[in-house]
Structure 1
Amino acid sequence: MRRQLAMVSLAVTLLVVVAFLVPLALVVRNQAADRALSRAERDVQAIAAALAVAPATMGAEISRDLAADVLRAFRGEDAFTVVFPDGRTVGTDLGDSPGLAQARRGAAFSTEIEGGFEVLVPVLDTFDVPTPGETEPPVRTVVVRTVVSDAELRLGVTTAWGMLGALGVFLVVIAVIAADRLARNIVRPVDALSAAARSLGRGDLDTRVEPAGPLEVAQVGEAFNFLARRLVGLLNAERESVADLSHRLRTPLTALRLQTEMLSDPAEAAALSADIDRMGRAVDRMIEEARRPAETGEHSADLAAIVLHRATFWKVLADEQGRTATVETGGGSWWVPIAADELGAVVDTLIENVFAHTPAGTDYHISVRPVGGEVELVVEDQGPGLPEAAVIERGASSGGSTGLGLDIARRAAEKSGGDLMAANRPDGGAVITVRFGGIDAPLDAMAASPPAAQLL
């Protein structure tokens, strides 16, 4: 954004500078030409005036010597020419002139020629004595002539144009610097807002910004702080609600423990007591998690060990339903950045999904395998497959369940930088692939050859 603002300022300044300096440069050129031409016309007229008064004051006609003396007096021997009626000239040789005939008829004028401008001023010489039969002496016309070259017409123009160009560059640089500082004052609070938003997204609920910059950007900063405070309030209210709900679950759990103690079968009573204790610990963890602020620290767990442990737990139910379960973990440890309890809940969710949506006797296979810098947990079954891909969306279910299981697994995978994918096998059955990021495998597991599936 900062660069774009500077470029916009540069473009606008260039347009203004060009629109201002180009006409000004043309004016400077025209003024220089007018100045040079006016100076030449003034000098020619001064020489012509001196020649015109010479016969009356000196009592002599306009001669070559007189013309030479006048030119020397004006220091114009190298720039001016006096042309007599018989074609003789005094002064510098300026060549032929197409306007000389018109000047001899008494017209003073300036005309453009090749290489510059020519200035001609006629002088009437009436000193001659009249010839017999004439009552007035003859009138002779002497022409004073000079040429103003293109170099003289452009004298000082290059320097003036250079100064104007330097002024234009200076204005552009100043405008770009000013625009950059302005853009920095705008972008800096926007960058702070962006960093604060990312920090809030990572779970740092104490993130706030100092409203700064233009009024609109400062208002966005104030709105962000309000949003952060509102989010903290909502999360605190949700934690309290979850904690209260979890606490209310203790009462029916206590009643279940009492009823379990009254069972006549000790083995069944022990199994139920173990399940109730596990549920009680889950409720306690839920209350503890709800009552403490969200943590942003890192956790890790061995996915292979947890898969073997949870698969063994579900083996009892699989045997009762006539299912064959196989597990393949690669023979080593595969660490993923997820807490052990949460990772166990993901594995339980995927296995429970098989039991809930396939008929009894359907076999399933669980595998853990590395893929590049990540690790995949794959659960396959030989059931009817998935009716639609939308089952991984929160609340979506085709089997009458809550539709939260796969979404919970997906969110756990995304927390580690991975994802969850659901598909159907070509030969029938569903394939749920959960990819976790941040794999950290030991060297012996990396070097191990693919092992055969383990039959539980």
Structure 2
Amino acid sequence: MRIGIKYRVFLAMLAATATVVLCMWLIVQWSINRGFLRYVNTLEQQRLENLATDLEQAYAEHGGWAFLGADPLIWVRLRVRTPPGEAVDPARLERFERWRARETQDSRNDQRHQPFERRVLLLDGDRRPLLAAPEPAAAVDLRPLRQAGHPIGYLGLVPRQTTFDTYQVQFVRQQELALALIAGATLLISALIALPLAQRLVRPLKTLAAATHRLSAGAYETRVPVAGDDELGQLARDFNTLALTLEKNEEARRQWVADISHELRTPLAVLRGEIEALQDGVRPDGPEALRSLHAEVLHLNRLVDDLYQLALSDLGALSYRKERLDLAAELKDAVELFRPAFAAKDLILAAHIPAAPANILADAERLRQLFNNLLDNSLKYTEPGGRLELRLETQGDAALIHIQDTAPGVPAADLERLFDRLYRVEASRRRAAAPPGLGLAICRNIVEAHEGSIHAAPAPLGGLAIHIRLPLAGGSA
């Protein structure tokens, strides 16, 4: 049988309460029995003190203990403290006579369960019993009776081990019944409180379980209400964060598939149109047609290659063979490689690279890929007659690379997404022949693989500024 978590929590709380109540009931019951017994024994000790005083007075009046045998009623009056001349309670007298008749038999009974009158021991000066059943001295504390400073006898009382009197037993039973009623009421109240409390504690968990089931089924818009700042509230916030992340990832995946389809469709459509034109004789077959087809194939090849490189980078499968390199020298080589292309497009390429080396631990091939992508991106989108400025500087234990160009720029709202895959601001950065939207994403992965950072910002020249931070190797300037 499967028990739900609500009832498990309820049973656990109820079991804990029942254990505490049972322990309290046993301890209080033991305390009442022991405490009441001590109280009764204290009262009887006080009665014993009074009886000792009366016996000492009677001994002085009669000159010995012979009066006890001559008039048994005197012993009864002394034990029940009945003044001389008053009649003895008939019930007590009858009880005394029955005791005298069974004296021999009662001496063999356990005197610890008898009433006060039957547990009193009176011994003479030689410790011989006087009208009382003998009790071993080891079991009874004897109080000496004195006359003129000399012992005339000994008086003792066998202490109670349990209550015997009917009223005393009835009182103890009433207390035990009250304790049992209190324990039962406590358990009932605990059960009435524990069930709704367990239900309240489990309700957020059930809500989270149902939401998790919907989330696993693909409903990424699922959210759960957040109530409180405790652990359950934090769990609900974490769940909502997870759902939001999954929702964004799903949207990015769909957008990624749509963007790839769009980018692949364009060169394929051009190729198809070119080939169909050749087949229909609309376009003559010759070197010019082959050059056009070759350009589209190269376009498609570069797009597929960038997709492959980006996929490897995302998977962490790009190979990096890091070694100690001079970042300034690598950057100079990249700039010199692109100078002819910039000059052909009527663009000024200004590089401010210090002569001092800036040593870093990096992969030379990946660094060249990084610089080529950035310079190529600026070359394609900067308007003719513009300018590109590149600056390298060191700051503490890091090398800083600043690249900025002239118009067109990128709106501030789009700067955060500029490094996303296949993202392009169509309205401000004109489309070029090369496959766009992947170069900057690859650049970010390369920089992060070198434990650096890269971000975009508006350029003072009116275009786009790219800032790169790379850690310097030990011992570099």
User: Under TM normalisation by the shorter chain, which class is it?
Assistant: 0.3 to 0.5
TM-score where L is the length of structure 2: 0.39
TM-score, normalised to structure 1, is: 0.41
